[in-house]
Structure 1
Amino acid sequence: MIAKPKLHPAAEIPPPLSDEDYEALKASIAEHGLIDAITLFDGKVLDGRHRLRICDELGIEARFEETDLAQFGGSAEFFVEARLSGRNMSQSQKAMVAARMEPFYAERAKERQKLSQGRGVKGPETIPDLNGDARDEAGAAHGVTGRTVSKAKNVIASGCKQLIDAVDSNRLDITTAENVCKELTGQELEEVVAVAFATSDPKAALRTAVAEPPKKPAKRRKKPSGDGERTLNKQERDGLRIAIKVLIRSLEAVGLYQRFEASLDEMLEAVNNG
């Protein structure tokens, strides 16, 4: 049995297919078989990761073809980018692709700079704007502005996998995602995103989570804990505070905060008291 090839890192540049598109492709392969071979480079899957997964699911033997990338200057990344020309993507998804491609546009600019000095002659470390800034060039290749590419870079740099996956899969727009990254980082960002995507409207929950916080409730006297009550640890308290914070802002957004204010104040006091 031939071992299943690993994914080439460049294969992760495009966003995943939507559930609808994936099921449509699966139905087509089930009916007609695998028409287009899966492209390999250095023995790794460069194009066709969804087709390979579907073949596994359907028990169909996959076909592979190796490419030398000659017409793409040996660049696996620009090969993958070229294959995206007919793909239907949102502006946010295009921005994520452009952000991942920007380093390769910068590298290509360096190569252009070297060639402008003559082969074998190293150009200056600071690259002049030969054909436009790499960010803007990458954005233009995908029909988005350089500013939108910067938003995508900030989302990717946040390291919050759930947030990145949400933009990649077109479940969240790039502007909302970047606004959240501006206000929250690290564990707090992870927890707020997790809570938001557990709601029926993650976008609204994220927007309220980073809106102006509500007025702090007046401090009340600490009540002694009853027998048998467990003390919350710091991680549990932080998680509950974030969840209550999202709930408060969601209620404010629909004008219902006043109705539940007393109960929410008691909840916050209980969490703060451990």
Structure 2
Amino acid sequence: MRQLEPHPLANIFPLLDGDAYAEFLADVRENGIREPAVLYQEKILDGRNRYRAAQEAEVVCPTRDYVGSDPLGYVISLNLHRRHLDESQRAMVAARLANMPVGNFSKSANLPDSGVSQPRAASLLNVAERSLRSAKAVLDEGAPELVAAVDQGHLAVSVAARATKLAGDDQREIAGRAQAGENNVARKVVKQKARAKREADLATKQRALPQRKFGVIYADPEWEFETWSPEGMDRAAGNHYPTSPLDEIKARDVPSISADDSILFLCATPPMLPPALEVMGAWGFDYVSNAVWIKDRTGTGYWFRFRHEHLLVGVRGNVPCPAPGEQWDSVIEQPRGEHSEKPEAVCELIEAYFPNLPKIELNRRGHARAGWSAWGNEAEALA
């Protein structure tokens, strides 16, 4: 007996799969096929699931010819009424339908030679054009597993569209999570991997710049702090290393080494918060957040004996913030080192957030950290 093929119009809808198909197959084995498959142009217009189930169950699938002048409307009407498809699934149908080549269909198909436009396809399936465009991206760029996850109603088409920008293995991981019912995890993985790709792409762009530019600037300026009495001079910063007036620090040409899309991590003690924000602005960065370093020993202070310092965060241009679930705690608990020496945990935080961006530490004490450049009175010169 001749094998029948599905008609292209029928293929705009996904086949049954998983438990739904298993239940249908079991019914066919027990009761046979109740409704004939409908043929159009000698292909299956309606009844693909019946036909394949009949073959597996080794029972006869009766057929009849389509009678009418609108096979597309017939297919859409039957499937939308027969199956409960969510908006993402309908968007995938609309994307398959949009601009489908129909030159080999007869004029009785009631279709324009150029095919169905995207607006018309979206209207027929009752979805937004934006959803249709997302579905088209999934069909054009998605791994088969990702396409199937949306077709089967396991993954939203908007999430899948973002996943198409990722590598094939990442797409398959996301599809697997969705298929396993871990939809929230799948969404989170998309955000995390998309953010990692943005950071890596930005790093590639910055490393290719003709002049030395950095995507991460980590600075601990030599703040000049005025004491209220001579008794405080023995604990002042200027007694331990050379300090600079605020205007000199603000005038430092940090913008010339900062990439268009870059981030500044700026250290400041509580009394120096206002000057630190001035410096951030003068260097071309906008304040966005901060963390605190909690020390194991108490220091000095007028209003309080300080046991913490601030790590201010400023951005310039478009820099990706950490993906959900990858943010560090805003409190960094590390012991104090030498005067003004900052804990390496801050560098570890920065490396976790931006593993690929070129990094420089200003006012570094000692040798530059592996993978970083360093500048300052007590650091190796900038290479």
| TM bucket, shorter chain | 0.5 to 0.7
What is the TM-score of this pair, normalised by structure 1?
0.60
Q: Indicate the SS of the match to 1:39.
A: strand
8 Å Cα contact 1:105-1:134 kept in structure 2: no
Take 1:103 and 1:83, find their aligned partners in 2: how far apart are those partners? 21
Deviation at 1:96, TM superposition (A): 0.8
**Structure 1 16/250 Cα, relative in aligned 2: closer, same or farther at 3 Å?**
farther
Instruction: Kindly tell me the number of residue pairs found equivalent between the two proteins.
Output: 198
Take 1:151 and 1:179, find their aligned partners in 2: how far apart are those partners? 8
Deviation at 1:38, TM superposition (A): 0.9
Work out which of the residue numbers 136, 143, 160 in structure 1 matches 2:126.
143
Work out which of the residue numbers 194, 217, 221 in structure 2 matches 1:210.
194
8 Å Cα contact 1:162-1:194 kept in structure 2: yes
Correspondence for 2:268: none
Work out which of the residue numbers 85, 88, 97 in structure 1 matches 2:84.
88
Deviation at 1:16, TM superposition (A): 2.3
Take 2:327 and 2:61, find their aligned partners in 1: how far apart are those partners? 51
Deviation at 1:71, TM superposition (A): 2.5
Correspondence for 1:15: 14
Correspondence for 1:156: 139
Q: Percent identity?
A: 23
Q: Indicate the SS of the match to 2:49.
A: helix
Deviations 1:167-203 (A, max 9, x none): 111121101011122x33xxx2x22112334556434
Deviation at 1:213, TM superposition (A): 5.7
Which protein, 1 or 2, shows the higher relative CO under an 8 Å CA cutoff with sep ≥ 6?
A: 1
8 Å Cα contact 1:135-1:146 kept in structure 2: yes
8 Å Cα contact 2:37-2:61 kept in structure 1: yes
**Structure 1 215/3 Cα, relative in aligned 2: closer, same or farther at 3 Å?**
closer
Deviation at 1:18, TM superposition (A): 4.4
Structure 2: 5+ residue stretches without partners: 108-113, 201-321, 330-344, 356-383
Q: Which amino acid aligns with 2:89?
A: Q
Work out which of the residue numbers 180, 185, 196 in structure 1 matches 2:174.
196
Deviation at 1:78, TM superposition (A): 3.6
**Structure 1 71/209 Cα, relative in aligned 2: closer, same or farther at 3 Å?**
same
Deviation at 1:253, TM superposition (A): 7.2
Q: Which amino acid aligns with 1:191?
A: D
8 Å Cα contact 2:142-2:171 kept in structure 1: no
Structure 1: 5+ residue stretches without partners: 112-124, 126-132, 217-247, 269-274
Whichever structure has more helix as a proportion of its residues is 1
Matched, 1:172 2:170: no
Take 2:15 and 2:162, find their aligned partners in 1: how far apart are those partners? 23
Matched, 1:101 2:94: no
Deviation at 1:39, TM superposition (A): 1.3
Q: Indicate the SS of the match to 2:44.
A: strand
Correspondence for 2:326: 252
Deviation at 1:249, TM superposition (A): 6.7
Structure 2 counterparts to residues 224-235 of structure 1, below 5 A: none
8 Å Cα contact 1:105-1:137 kept in structure 2: no
Q: Indicate the SS of the match to 1:60.
A: coil
Correspondence for 1:120: none
Take 2:327 and 2:85, find their aligned partners in 1: how far apart are those partners? 31
8 Å Cα contact 1:208-1:253 kept in structure 2: no
Deviation at 1:106, TM superposition (A): 10
**Structure 1 60/254 Cα, relative in aligned 2: closer, same or farther at 3 Å?**
farther
Deviations 1:227-262 (A, max 9, x none): xxxxxxxxxxxxxxxxxxxxx97862798xx9xx89
Take 1:211 and 1:106, find their aligned partners in 2: how far apart are those partners? 40
